[in-house]
Amino acid sequence: REMQGVRLADDGRLCIGGGTIHRAVAEEAKPHYPGLASLAARIGDPAVRNRGTIGGSVANNDPSACYPAGVLASGATIVTNSREIEADDFFQGMFSTALEEGEIITEVKFPVPEKARYEKFIQPASRFPLVAAFVAKFSEGVRVAVTGASENGVFRWTEAETALSADFSAKALEGLTLDGGSMISDLHGSGAYRAHLVGVMTKRAVLDLV
């Protein structure tokens, strides 16, 4: 119980207990961080959202999971029973994280951006994203995290971040491309297809926000 719930801390960060189910985040985070609540509301189906937790999703670091994109794009902090880990240091490749044996995620602390949007191209059989992008606009700059695409799991698309931090418009993304050779290629989509989708999802997220 002590690992469940959503609260707004005095420093303005939204803190979500590691054992909080997706449905609770979808409902309770909505007034504070609607972009993140919307991500949680679209994970899987109602049964999945009533059982799956933010701690389980982040610890598992499935290369197609939704939360890692929201956590990384927000620049969140993962709190465990022994320390705090910045999102930039936490995700270390497909199904791989900075967690050590026996370490438990007790909370995730999210800085709340000015605006944010998660665009997800759904793989209809599982409802996992085939590719999805989370765009978070802070006063200091824009962060973009992509899931479902890379062989190395969730990643920040730094070229898009630089372009959008200078000019927050879909036009700023024109001409930016990613290498399909390092992307997941399977029966659902080739690496080149996924690389293309990253651009489309990021553009849609920005268009929704401007």
Q: Where along the sequence are the contacts to ligand FAD (CB under 6 A)?
A: 18, 43-44, 48, 51-53, 55-57, 59-60, 65-67, 104-105, 126-128
Backbone angles phi, psi at 158, to 5 degrees: -70, -35
Nearest approach in angstroms of CB 93 to ligand FAD is: 15
CB 40 within 8 A of CB 27: no
Nearest to ligand FAD of 127, 188 (CB atom): 127
Nearest approach in angstroms of CB 206 to ligand FAD is: 22
Nearest approach in angstroms of CB 163 to ligand FAD is: 27
Which residues contact residue 89 at a Cβ distance below 8 angstroms, ignoring those fewer than 6 apart?
98
Nearest approach in angstroms of CB 128 to ligand FAD is: 4
Nearest to ligand FAD of 71, 160 (CB atom): 71
Nearest to ligand FAD of 78, 172 (CB atom): 78
Spatial distance between the Cα atoms of 84 and 80, rounded to a whole number of angstroms: 6
CB 137 within 8 A of CB 209: yes
Nearest to ligand FAD of 52, 113 (CB atom): 52
Which residues contact residue 162 at a Cβ distance below 8 angstroms, ignoring those fewer than 6 apart?
none
* Token pair for 193: 């297809």
HSE-CB at 12 with a 13 A cutoff on CA atoms is: 4
Nearest to ligand FAD of 97, 164 (CB atom): 97
Nearest approach in angstroms of CB 55 to ligand FAD is: 3
